[in-house]
Amino acid sequence: MIKHMRNARRLRGLLIPFACLLVWAAMPIGCGVAQAQEVEIENDARLEGYGEKVFLDGGNTAMTWAGFSGLAIVALLGLFKDAKRSHLD
């Protein structure tokens, strides 16, 4: 009985690497079957009517300041990690 369990455990130990090897060896076979084909499109309907470039006048730096403020808040939160610790201990 014990010898049978050892054989089963050894077989299970060899079965997983063999299955992985089999899947790895079969990958190149399946990869060549489903390849995308390039389709030439003369006119893209999404871009019709957009011949001229559109942009906003007078941009500002609000998002830059918001980003720096958020970064500063994240950096300063590390100083208040634990009330029993002093800053940078």
Residue 15 lies in a domain: yes
pLDDT number for residue 67: 95
Residue 68 lies in a domain: no
Residue 6 lies in a domain: yes
Residue 84 lies in a domain: no
Residue 77 lies in a domain: no
Task: State yes or no: pLDDT of 72 exceeds 80.
Answer: yes
Provide the percentage of residues in the chain whose pLDDT is more than 90: 15
Task: Residue 9: give the domain boundaries.
Answer: 1-31
45 compared with 36, residue with greater pLDDT: 45
Separation between Cα atoms, residue 12 and residue 6, nearest integer Å: 10
Q: How many domains does the chain have?
A: 1
Residue 17 lies in a domain: yes
pLDDT bin (cut points 50, 70, 90) of residue 74 is very high
Residue 48 lies in a domain: no
pLDDT number for residue 23: 81
Mean of the per-residue pLDDT values for the chain? 77
This prediction's pTM: 0.31
